[in-house]
Amino acid sequence: MRKPATRPTLPTRRSDNDKRRLHPSPDGVALGQLASRAVYNGISKHKAEPLKFGLLPYTGRRGDESLCDQHAVFDLGDWRTISELLTEGIRAGLIGKVEAQGVPTMLWTVSDQGWIFEARVTNVGLADYHGYPVRASESIAEQVYSRFRDWVGTQAGDADRRAVVNCRALYGFSDD
């Protein structure tokens, strides 16, 4: 098995939002409904080179945003798998607070390379999300890893088991 690439230095986040919490007990039926309607639409704010992804250049001031293509080395080939990653995260119960329309404000997923990505709802009515990589220093990272690891232990296949191994190595988690 290949060792994951060295994690590039991400800009320091100015705060670790305490509202970013996993839903304590997501409903399986609701997860299935969400998985069938949730969509991903990237935004240029989280891309170093948005034109490569068919997005307009970002004209605002960048703060502490993490960038998919620069920090997580996410490329156009990965771009095509985002819908699958979004669905996988939902199936694994990696969702946050649920809005009145049954749409979580945030959800997470773990890529095959081990990166944890956070997706925030862009349009609740359409279950439309945009996302970005999560830093190892953020408290949500280990919570997402633990739930994903537990889900993989009971439900998933070899690719997901490799994602757990890669995530543990990339983020420096231990399974003590």
For residue 5, the tally of other CB atoms under 10 A from its CB is 12
Q: With the C-alpha atoms ordered 46, 99, 19, 95, is the resulting torsion angle positive or negative?
A: negative
**What tokens does 115 get?**
């990166």
Question: pLDDT tens digits, residue range 6-59?
Answer: 545 555 554 556 568 999 989 989 999 999 999 888 777 877 777 777 878 888
pLDDT given at position 57: 84
Q: How far apart are CA 33 and CA 108, in angstroms?
A: 17
Average pLDDT score over residue span 61-85: 68
Q: Where are the beta strands (DSSP E) in 21-163?
A: 39-40, 106-110, 116-123, 128-133
pLDDT given at position 44: 76
pLDDT given at position 140: 94
Cβ(131)–Cβ(68) below 8 Å: yes
Question: pLDDT tens digits, residue range 111-157?
Answer: 888 999 999 999 999 999 988 889 888 989 999 999 999 999 888 68
pLDDT given at position 79: 55
Q: Where are the beta strands (DSSP E) in 4-113?
A: 39-40, 106-110
Q: How far apart are CA 81 and CA 72, in angstroms?
A: 14
pLDDT given at position 2: 60
Cβ(23)–Cβ(104) below 8 Å: yes
Question: pLDDT tens digits, residue range 75-89?
Answer: 656 655 778 889 999
Question: pLDDT tens digits, residue range 82-121?
Answer: 788 899 999 999 999 888 788 999 999 998 889 999 999 9
**Orientation angle between helical segments 82-91 and 28-37, nearest 10 degrees:** 170
